[in-house]
Structure 1
Amino acid sequence: MARITAGVATSHVPAVGAALDNGKSHEPYWAPLFAGYQWTKDWEETQQPDVVILVYNDHASAFDMNIIPTFAIGCAEEFGIADEGWGPRPVPIVKGHAELAWHIAQSCILDEFDMTILNRLEVDHGLTVPLSLMFGQPGQWPVRVVPIAVNVVTYPPPSGNRCWLLGEAIARAVESFPEDLNVQIWGTGGMSHQLQGPRAGLINKPWDMKFLDDLTRDAEGLRTKPHIEYLREAGSEGIELVMWLIMRGALGRGARELHRHYHVPGSNTAIGHIVLEPAA
């Protein structure tokens, strides 16, 4: 059967992708940020996952105010690269795993999660930047991807607990898939940042570090963290961190930290990254 072997979380800042695409990753400003991902790049080569379930949020590329799904799953064979206003990123087409995606959609819907099914989807930096951070700049991505898009842009976003429960439902779906697959689940977005208003540029390192700690030490507490705390402590875009809880929920009650990286600033954002595995 398929199995979830690890969880990965990372920020997905668009400027990080631009730095890679324009050959700036070794410049003094960017080098410390990218250095923190080298451990994971090496680790991924040893793990060789077949599929990544990649949880991200769309940035007005595939959705707008006319269509706002809370949870959506990409079930296509491949996903094009969105033009976010300066042309599509020069990265490979993202190959899907339609059979697994449809199985997850069916399982989660019958498990009482109302998933929007996407048979055509162009993906933006929210999905492609994490792939670049973990796999570099290959001619084609070494994994197939099942995109899970979450609304954290327009009120109301889902609660942390609802995201955790979706992670549990995804884990049940994967475990019931008959093909032998090595599956990872990634949560993306965050950490603390605010892009507009009088608090633009906000970064709260102590809060971010505690969030990273609590993924293994007090995950139950993260489940019940209210939206207002994300807004107050992590800025208006800090709510993206609820997507990490889908990843964390899929790993079960216990998880072990393998690697952590935290760097500020990455553009105007606190860059966070963690690798977890399910507890034995």
Structure 2
Amino acid sequence: MAKIIGSIGTSHVPTIGVAYDKGRQADPAWAPLFDGYKPVAQWLAEKKPDALVFFYNDHATTFFFDMYPTFALGVGERFPVADEGAGLRPLPHIKGNVDLQCHIAESLVNDEFDLTIFQEKPIDHGCASPLPLLWPHDPDWPGALVPIAINVLQYPLPTAKRCYKLGQAVRRAVESYPEDLKVVIVGTGGLSHQIHGERTGFNNEEWDHEFLRLLQFEPEKLTELTHADFVRRGGAESVEQIMWLAMRGAMPEKIRRLHLNYYLATTTAMTLALYEEGEEPAQTAAATASRVPDNATA
């Protein structure tokens, strides 16, 4: 049977991809971010997963607002990397595993998730920005992707609880797949940021770290928050955190964090976290104890 061996939460800021393509990994402004990905890339190189299930959102690249699905799963042997205005990126097309994708799609529908299925559509920076920092890609990617797009742009959005349940359903789907595969779950987006309106440039570091604590130890509390709660605490675009909840839902009750890199140098709190199944040392858990703020700075 297939097995989920770990999970990753990562920002998907488009400028990460631009800086990567321009070879700016050693620039002082970018090195803290790129260096933060190296331990996770090393973990992936050692574990050699066969597939990554990627929860991401499409930024009106493949789907537009006249028909924007709540949940969409890609099925195909290859997906092109989208040209988002800066030209085609020097990356190979993203590989897929059709048998695994079809199995997960069928399992999710039978689990009462009404999916949109897409084929041969380009995948934008929601997935393609962090992917080359995680996996080598010359001449090709070492494994396949199961891309699952979640609507975090056009209201009504799926609730935090629904995304968490989606992750749980994905876990059931993966674990019922008959082939002996190693799978890693990736949730993208956030954390706190707002890129428009009166609060442009807003961040909330206290909330970011509280979110990470709750995600690890008490994710059910996060599922009780409304979209407005996420927006007040972390800015309009921080609602992307519901995609991290989908990732968390695919993991067991107890997880331990192997790596965290938090870098706030732009309008987005660019964050990377790596988790495995297991018990966090008691002193580590106690050191992170706090509570959700009642409100955030407006």
Question: One fold, TM greater than 0.5?
Answer: yes
Match of 2:290 in 1: none
Higher alpha-carbon deviation: 143-152 or 116-125: 116-125
Are 1:109 and 2:109 matched, yes or no?
yes
SS at match of 1:237: helix
Higher alpha-carbon deviation: 113-122 or 13-22: 113-122
* CA deviations over 1:19-40 (Å, ceiling 9, x no partner): 0100111111101111111111
CA drift at 1:107? 0.6
Match of 2:13 in 1: 13
* CA deviations over 1:31-52 (Å, ceiling 9, x no partner): 1111111111111110110000
Match of 1:143 in 2: 143
% identical equivalent positions: 46
Q: Which residues of structure 2 form unaligned runs of 5+?
A: 280-298
TM (normalized to structure 2)? Answer: 0.91
- Matched ranges for 1:1-280 at <5 A: 1-136=1-136, 138-265=138-265, 267-279=266-278
Runs of 4+ in 1 over 6 A off after TM superposition: none
- Give me the whole-angstrom Cα distance separating, in 2, the residues matched to 1:140 and 1:230: 38
Q: Which amino acid aligns with 2:227?
A: H
Match of 2:295 in 1: none
- Give me the whole-angstrom Cα distance separating, in 2, the residues matched to 1:121 and 1:279: 37
* CA deviations over 1:209-252 (Å, ceiling 9, x no partner): 11111122211111212111111111110001100111100012
Q: Which amino acid aligns with 2:267?
A: N
SS at match of 1:7: strand
* CA deviations over 1:108-152 (Å, ceiling 9, x no partner): 101101111112211011111121221255331112001000000
- Give me the whole-angstrom Cα distance separating, in 2, the residues matched to 1:14 and 1:92: 18
Q: Which residues of structure 1 form unaligned runs of 5+?
A: none
Report how many residues are paired: 279
What RMSD in Å do the two structures reach over aligned CA positions? 1.2
- Give me the whole-angstrom Cα distance separating, in 1, the residues matched to 2:222 and 2:12: 21
- Give me the whole-angstrom Cα distance separating, in 2, the residues matched to 1:215 and 1:194: 21
Checking the alignment, whether the CA contact within 8 Å between 2:136 and 2:142 is kept in structure 1 is no
- Give me the whole-angstrom Cα distance separating, in 1, the residues matched to 2:146 and 2:248: 17
